[in-house]
Every structure is written in structure tokens, then in C-alpha cells.
Structure 1
Amino acid sequence: MAPWSDLTFDVLELITSFLPFLDHYRFGAVCKNWRSVSKRRQHPPPPQLPWLLLEEDKETGKRKFYSLSEAKNYSIEIPELRGRYICGSSHGWLFAIDIKIAGILINPFTQECYELPRFPAYGKDTDVTTLIEKKPSDCVKGYTFEEMQTLLVFKAILSHDPKERSDFTVMILFGEFHTLAFWRPGDSSWTVVDGPKRRMEDVLYFKGNFYVISSMNGLYVVDFEPEPKLRKVGPEIRIEGCVLQSYLTDFDGNMLLIERYGRSSKNNRIDTARFTVIEIDLEEHCLYECYDIDDYALFLGRNSSIAVDSSHLPECKKNGIYFTHLTESHSGDEFGFHDLGVFDMADKTISTFYAVEVFPRRVDSPVWFIPKRFW
């Protein structure tokens, strides 16, 4: 048998097609030849579970990650993320805000980065972004800059992977009402999308359009021409009970609305009680409640919602919804801090997959993240 180091390029490349992120990383560390093969990976990666991006280690400055497939923590040196608050994850890229309220879009494992323009004002009377140079250590309308770092942008998503398409769009939910705004490469500022003055819950890029769901369960599509505005679409959606958060998901070409319901717990907090899943048929103008999602698992949080086929991933709970806690500084500990787990669509129970006590108050939200572009 020939030595492993003498295997031909095409054989080695075929081997990498079966390797998930961590094994691909280890493969490239064996020798120079194998590293060169790993850099030129032509095959799409096999199905993999998202990682959970955690807080920064205060002593080392390294960023903590949790591998769900290995049930193991990793601390990785990513200088670009030091001191930054993570407000979104999409297509393997992260959105991060520093203490000066400046934002970046970054692939953490290749260090490719886009600097984002100054964000729009948080609210009518709280334009922290124009005061940052004048009073960098003051409180603005009751908020410190550390709090503004976590409050300004609720969520950010991408239309496409910037490595695959240069004409991508970044869409954010920002400010008091989670107003919509977008940026494209070459733009000098954010463009605010005109819409109703109500809180927006989630945004989804679906079949060439951006859709957003409001706190009143109104579904809107973004019309970019002639002026960017929200236009209401879809059937009327009614809700019952205490909905903590609404999510939109692209589920194999179907749009799903996932409602997260809460209940009061013994420690006077409001924790997640259950989820309902509704398919929205835009063409037929109909709603269909989904009672199971077969072998799939959904991963919800401040990331672009992720659907994973778990049929070949035994470590993943199929027909389950993995969720992270809701962390906004102004919401207080009583509203969902330390509340993360996995909801079983079959028996309607919630179980844990990670020790929730590790999350102190007002730290980075745990964000689901699928690593891409390994080298």
C-alpha cells in the first residue's frame, strides 16, 4: 500500500468531500500537500450541524464555540471579533458591532471582511451614532454605549454569500421598532425601508425577495422600486397566547412561520413553552399548520433561520426546533435570559442541549453559525 502522503490529488480531494468542518481543518494540518488540497476543495461539504457561537473569553480574548455534533467547546483566536457584539449570522458570515457602534461583516475563518457604514439612529431622540465622537463615555438618553452596542441592531441577514455573488444585500432590523434598512457594496450609507410603525420580528430572503413579519403577525415584502417600502402580502395570520418571538424560515422552498410561545416559570421569568409551525402559501393565499417536520431540525435565533436534514446526523434531534435565548438589554432577566433548548415537535417537550447557567447577563446572544470557506 502506498504511503498516505503519496496519494494522488484527485483521491485526496475525494476524501475531503466526506469531511465536515473540524475534520477538514485537521486534514489540512497534516502536511503541506494535504493543506494545498484542502484549500482547493471542489466538492460541497457534507451535511453538518451548526455551531453555537458563544461569548468572548474575558481572560484570553478568544471566541468560544460549541460544536453540537461533538458536544464540545472550542476557544478560537479571532482578533477581528474581540470586543464586538454579534448581532447576526448568515451564509457562514457574522455581523459584529464594536464599542464605537461600528459594524463589520466578516467570515471568521478566512478573515475576509466588509466595513459597514454608520448605522441609522436608534430612535427619534437617541441618535447615538452622531454623538459617538463627541461624548464617547457618556450615557445617551439612559443607555450606555455598551448597552447601545447590544440594542442598536436586533438582527442582520444576507441575501447571498459574498464569495458567490458580489451583488449581495445586507438587511438589518434596527432601533426601537426593529425598522428595516439595507446596504449593498458601494453604498455610502444605509437605506431605510419605509413601513408601518410597529415592531418587526424577523426578516427572510426567500425566492429573490426580502420578507418581514411584524409583531402583529403582518407579513410584508420589500419593494425596492421606485422607493424602498414594505407592502403587505399573504393571508391574514392570527395568533393566540403569549408569543415571545416570531421567525421566518425557508424550508425546502416553502415559507414557514414559527411562533415561539412563553409561560411564567417558578422563578418569575417568562420561559419558552412551545412552538407552532405554519406554512405560508403566498400563491394560494393560505395557511397550513405543520405538526411535524419529518427528519429535519430547525435552528432559530439571531441567525438566518437554518433547516438541516438530520437523517444522516444521528447526534441531531430530528423533528426538533433548537432555539437560543432572547437577549436584549432592556428586556430584563425576567424575559427569557438563559432560556435555550430543543423543542420536540412530536411529544411537545423541551430538553436541554447545553448548560444554560454559563451565560451571564447582557453578553453576546448565542448565535447559530455554519462555518464556510475553511481556509
Structure 2
Amino acid sequence: MEHVKPVLNGDEVLEKYEVFYYDGETPRVVEEDTAVWSLEEYGHMVYLKATLSCDPSVGGCIVMLIHQPYGQLSFAKVGDDHWNWLNVSSYYRDCVYHDGWFYAVTEEGAIDAYNLHGPSVIHKRLLPQIIQTVSKCHVVRAQSGDVLQIIRRQLLNPDHDQPGSREWVTEIKVYRVDFDDQKCVNINEIGDYALFIGSSTTSCLSLKDYPDLMPNQVYFTDDDDATHIFRRDDPPEVGIYDIKNNTRVNVVHPELWMNWLPPIWLMPSLAKTGMVVP
């Protein structure tokens, strides 16, 4: 990776990684401006989110990686021996793939599109920064074709004095992106769909396919980049947010052990485990 130097011990065994802090707008700086991470810390601190263009077993898969420093982008194709750095912009928070394009959103709500299938990278700035005071911004394409931005802010918890409660709690707003007029429209109805956000892939699922889900809900997990390293005593949020009524409930009680790794959403496949469901 462009910003990473492997550090070997005297026996030429990989011991740690040195990460250099610069981006496309700032030239490479002196070596004092670095951070050194152990092998265990590196995976938590440097890799933020990976997005696949397709199932790797199909072939021709591309992986887009959001990584430190500064939430930058790098990609790799199956068979590559290194990551390819995209030095166009920084501070990306989420990325999805649709019809040949990766859509990456910055923490300020700007959306960039990248086509990586040809011999050269094609980049388009589809939406400038519009929404202010963003804590986290996610992007997803709904089955209707609309592109949605899910804005997540952290608010002071009025119930913080209660045992086991967090100091900060989540507020979520959903916007429909209008690329023609270059604006975002706040919505509190998404029909018979549910959204999933967090450290895993941002998803928009139909209740026709998943009838156990609830409409107009955002299922969210704690996805703060530093919490799982520096603030392990802060219990993570795993909950459901009603965008129509602006209310939230916990899915499970936020036990401290859940901070061992960032919580993610997953859908187990009983068929792949060999289990038979009567």
C-alpha cells in the first residue's frame, strides 16, 4: 500500500507496520510524521471499509478500500500484488458498487463516482458538499433507483446518568439525492424498505424479501473508527432507528465485550453451513 512500510525484525520476519500521513493534496512529508502499529492494531486502525464489485468466485472482482490515513481510497483487482492509490480526495466514509461504478461518499456528504474497469480510472464528482455538521455519512442505492444518503449524528444522551448508558446516542436522517438539481431532500418515508448501516456494507432491503424487518427503519451498529481501540469502556450501540418518529431502540443490551471487534450486520446462510431447516 502507498502509505505503508512493513517493518521487519532481525530475522526478516514482519513485526509491525509504519504508516505515513499524507494525501493527494499534501506532498509526502518527513518521516517524523508517521504512526507505527502492531500487526493486531493495523487491521483495526488502517482498514476502515472494503467494498466488492462482485462475488470473487465469479471472476473480475475489484475491491475498493477506504483506509487510513485520512479516509483515502485504494483499489485492487484479483491478481494484483499491490493496492492502487486514488489520490483524488480524502475523508471518505462509505462506498457502494452499482452498474460498473463505485460511489464513494465523504464525511461532508460529497459523492464521487469511480469506474475502474478500463485501462485508466474514470472519476466524476456527482455531488458537492451540501449537508453540514455530519458525524457519519452512508450511501446506498435503493431498488427504486434513488440514491440515498443516511446522515448519522451523535447527540448527548439525556439518560447518561443511568447505569450502562452511553454518553452519546445516534440521530439519523435520510436524504434522497437529486443529482440534476444538486441537492439532497430530507425524507422520512422509504416505503416497504429497511436500511442497514455500520461497519459492514450499507444495504437497502425490501420487506417483500425479508418480511421480518420493519418499514421505515434504519438498523445501525456502532461504527466509530477509534472506539474499539481507544474507548473500549464505552458500550457500543446496536439498535433500530425509526426515521418517521425519530425514535430508537436497542437490539441487544450493549455489553462491553461487544467492543472486542466492531459490531457488524450479517445474514447467515444455513445452506452453506450444511444445516437442514425443517
Q: 1:270 to 1:200 in 2, by over 3 A?
A: farther
Identity %: 20
1:278 to 175, 184, 187: 175
Write the mapping of 1:1-375 to structure 2, written as runs, cut at 5 A.
Answer: 120-121=1-2, 123=3, 127-128=4-5, 130-132=6-8, 134=12, 136-137=14-15, 141-163=35-57, 165-196=58-89, 198-224=90-116, 227-228=120-121, 230-234=123-127, 236-241=128-133, 243-252=134-143, 253-265=145-157, 266=160, 271-283=168-180, 285-311=182-208, 313=210, 315-329=212-226, 332-333=230-231, 337-361=235-259, 363-371=260-268, 374=272
CA distance 1:223–1:318, shift in 2 (3 Å): closer
CA contact (8 A) 1:269 1:335 kept: no
Rounded Cα–Cα distance in structure 2 between residues aligned with 1:181 and 1:263 = 32
Describe the SS at the equivalent of 1:368: coil
Give CA deviations for 1:260-281 in whole Å, capped at 9, x if unaligned: 0111233696533311111123
The answer to whether the 8 A contact 1:325-1:337 is kept is no
Contact in 2 for aligned 1:194/1:228 (Cα 8 Å): no
Report the count of equivalent residues: 246
Q: Provide TM-score, normalisation by structure 2.
A: 0.76
Unmatched tracts of structure 2, length 5 or more: 19-34
Q: Which amino acid aligns with 2:201?
A: S
The structure where helix makes up a greater share of residues is 1
Gapped regions of structure 1 (runs ≥ 5): 1-119
CA contact (8 A) 2:235 2:256 kept: no
CA RMSD of aligned residues (A): 2.9
| Change in CA separation of 1:210 and 1:335 when aligned onto 2, cut-off 3 Å | farther
For the residues of structure 1 that align with 2:234 and 2:110, how far apart are their CA atoms?
24
Q: Which structure has the greater CA radius of gyration?
A: 1
One-letter identity of the residue aligned with 1:202: D
Greater relative CO (CA pairs within 8 A, separation 6+)? 1
Q: For 2:223, what is the secondary structure of its paired residue?
A: coil
Contact 2:113 2:125 in 1 (8 A): yes
